[in-house]
Amino acid sequence: MNKADFIEKFAKENNISVKISGAVVNTILDTIKEALIHKKRVEIRGFGSFSVKEYDSYTGRNPKTGESIGVQNKLAPFFKMSKIYKNNLIKEND
């Protein structure tokens, strides 16, 4: 499901216009994005949490040439699913 599909589904399930649904979804996503930019954690109980992980620098290899290269420190967004959802996914796939 892409963002447009999600907005449309949200609009139908809440009996609102696609325009209002899009504004709500974009506001939620923008709020999460802003929090992550400021390295803040966002937790949505029963769903999961978003955070930023910091990875130390390391020596990697260029897959094309095999040459060793230095990879700088980096920040990456990270999502951790709640135990409730994780357990439900496991039950559904059994």
Q: How many whole angstroms separate alpha carbon 59 and alpha carbon 27?
A: 39
Tell me: do 50 and 77 sit in the same domain. yes
Please check whether residues 29 and 66 belong to one and the same domain. Answer: no
The total domain count for the chain is: 2
CATH number for the domain including 46?
Answer: 4.10.520.10
32 and 60 assigned to the same domain: no
For residue 73, give both structure tokens. Answer: 């420190």
Q: Name the residue type at position 53.
A: K
Q: Examine the domain organization and report whether 50 and 24 are in the same domain.
A: no
Res 21: pLDDT: 97
Asked whether residue 52 falls in the same domain as residue 85, the answer is yes
d(CA 59, CA 52): 22
- pLDDT tops 70 at residue 94: no
Residue 93's pLDDT is 67
Q: Are residues 21 and 66 in the same domain?
A: no
The predicted-structure confidence for 59-91, as pLDDT tens digits, reads as follows 999 999 999 999 999 999 999 999 887 887 777
Q: Are residues 51 and 71 in the same domain?
A: yes
* Containing structural domain, residue 85: 40-94
The pTM score is: 0.74
Question: What pLDDT, in 10s, does the model give residues 33-60?
Answer: 999 999 999 999 989 999 999 999 999 9
